[in-house]
Chains A and B, each alone.
Chain A
């Protein structure tokens, strides 16, 4: 899948990782996705640095969505504001997947967020989102 805006995706990843080193970030992403993320370390580094327009290892929308949920969980762990987590998560997903699937997810997120009153509950929601998209 081609990244639509590599620079914006890179900025979003930097914001969500809140100063974490790239190696730590990648390790945590693999932890969160139980090793189900098919992206190799070098590709993730290149995406995070905005050095690639084509992420060849990402070959399905599900893979992008896993990365999206995992990055947003990372944002929760770094105690970013809910607004920041959602905005940056939006930028990551919009940079990867086609509009039909992305709009479904954004619509669910937009409808669900006002009902979640704290970052802990937001994280539970994101973790479940990630589980639902992991291979069974």
Chain B
């Protein structure tokens, strides 16, 4: 399977993005018994190696060259594969390089993409724990803006610009605890992930 990700990165990974990545990784470990580690992996983005029984831990190796946003996408995508039972019995799931279509299990990948999108936008009944940050998860406005490539890029640029201004103007003390700041932080996190994995948006571009 090939994950579809865009490699452009913001100038710095936000703390919100890092915290979200850690939260999702911990959730995978606690709820789905997936142990994650990072290693240099050639063209492959991630490997999920599973045992023959559901009650045993699984191992996820993620390429150390992936960005934080890509990792978040991979966790949601892998969780979708697990929910669909694609990993059993004893099936290794390989997430390929962005845009590379060379694997035969395209249908399963598409199923996982569809479920990952539902998880990401909080449409499943699991409490949204694996989805986008709670404050912005149900935002119809963000969802519409992220569905189109041009507005997605523009939104990302605007949010990154606001983030730079926030720190450059030294207004973080005054605004750090405001609800607006919290919303913008979460919106940047969500946008960063959808930017590297546009298939999470409503613009369906699933490719195997």
Task: Name A residues whose Cβ lies closer than 8 Å to a Cβ of B.
Answer: 101, 104-105, 107-108, 111-112, 114-118, 120-121, 124-125, 128-129, 131-133, 136
Contact = CB atoms under 8 A, between A and B. Distances in A.
Contacts, number: 65
Nearest to A131: B59
Interface in B1-46: 1, 35, 39-44
Contacts of B43: 117, 121
Contact of B90 (A104, A114, A128): A104
Contacts of A128: 47, 49, 59, 61
Contacts of B49: 125, 128-129, 131-132
B92 A117 contact: no
Contacts of A112: 92, 94
Nearest to A123: B39
* Pairs A-B, 3 closest by C-beta atoms: A128-B49, A115-B94, A128-B59
Nearest to A61: B52
28 contacts: A101-B52, A104-B89, A104-B90, A108-B91, A108-B92, A111-B104, A112-B94, A115-B94, A115-B96, A115-B103, A117-B43, A120-B40, A120-B41, A120-B42, A121-B41, A121-B43, A124-B39, A124-B47, A124-B61, A125-B92, A129-B49, A129-B92, A132-B50, A132-B56, A132-B57, A133-B51, A136-B56, A136-B57
B44 A116 contact: yes
Interface of B: 1, 35, 39-44, 47, 49-52, 56-59, 61, 89-92, 94, 96, 102-105
The A contact surface, by secondary structure, is: helix
B170 to A, nearest CB: 45
B66 to A, nearest CB: 14
B39 to A, nearest CB: 5
Given A112-B92, A115-B1, A115-B94, 6 more contacts: A104-B90, A114-B102, A120-B40, A121-B44, A128-B49, A136-B57
A47 to B, nearest CB: 24
Contacts of A129: 49, 92
A128 B44 CA distance: 15
B204 to A, nearest CB: 24
Contacts of B103: 114-115
A36 to B, nearest CB: 14
